[in-house]
Amino acid sequence: MIGIIGAMEIEIEGIRSLMTEKEEKTISGVKYVIGKLGNNNVVTAVCGIGKVFAAICAQTMILNFKPDIVVNTGVAGSIDASLGILDIAVADKVVQHDMDTSPIGDPKGLLSGINVIYMDADEKASALLVELVKEAGINAVRGAIASGDQFIASKTQKDEIKANFPDAIACEMEGAAIGQVCYVNKVRFAVLRAISDNADGGAVEDYPAFAKKTAENYIGIIARFAQDYSL
């Protein structure tokens, strides 16, 4: 079973339209559609915005549908100059940039209790995603994806994330929450994010202009992944 959690209705609808043998179940206000893509069983959901909604969705999906891997898709702001608008970031690891217990001596981003800052994405799934992105003729960059409950729209905020987490290539609001839920449940995960803006002063205009277009670009990539990935 492959779990796909999207941030946007449009991308998940696009994937659902390709699924067969569909059934649906709504839990805590989130609709989970299960079905098939090729020979693989898949479960899809739109989680809502932010780390709490993302965590609720991932935990519910894991307990109810037992995915072997959870893939999170959506858009992101670029944090690294190697990623331009419409390019795609694939996580090699994820971090919560707004997790901060540094006043009591911890490094920034440390998840107390499990004592990790970065959580590794599944290598095999991430490598396949990069391959499929490149095959589609889109620039793919692998690196850390940083999540936080903030839309990043200024150079100051962007520079702070890069200073605290130099490996970060993109910022968004859900991936590392899903990563944490997968980490504690020992479930593999991957994150693919298309760049809709540069997380700077232009982000407020760029985000609505490019979010839909990027989603249209990668629906096919995620569908191919769900068909090709061997568990």
**Annotated catalytic sites, by residue?**
11, 197
List 57, 203, 223, 226, residue binding ligand ADE (CB under 6 A): 203
Q: Which stretch binds ligand ADE (CB under 6 A): 86-94, 108-116, 120-128, 169-177?
A: 169-177
Amino acid at 118: Y
List 47, 140, 171, 182, residue binding ligand ADE (CB under 6 A): 171
Rounded CA gap, 36 and 77, in Å?
Answer: 31
Nearer Cβ to ligand ADE, position 98 or 131? 98
Amino acid at 23: E
Q: Which stretch binds ligand ADE (CB under 6 A): 17-25, 26-34, 89-97, 171-179?
A: 171-179
* b/e code 147-178 from CB counts within 10 Å (16+ = b): bbeebbbeeebbeebbebbeebbbbbbbbbbb
Rounded CA gap, 131 and 207, in Å?
Answer: 26
Answer yes or no whether residue 77 interacts with ligand ADE by CB under 6 A: yes
Shortest gap between Cβ of 214 and ligand ADE (angstroms)? 9
Instruction: Kindly state the number of chain residues that form the binding site for ligand ADE, as judged by CB under 6 A.
Output: 14
Amino acid at 133: V
What is the distance, to the nearest Å, from the Cα of residue 69 to the centroid of all Cα atoms in its chain? Answer: 13
Residues that bind ligand ADE (CB under 6 A): 75-77, 151-153, 171-173, 196-197, 199, 203, 207
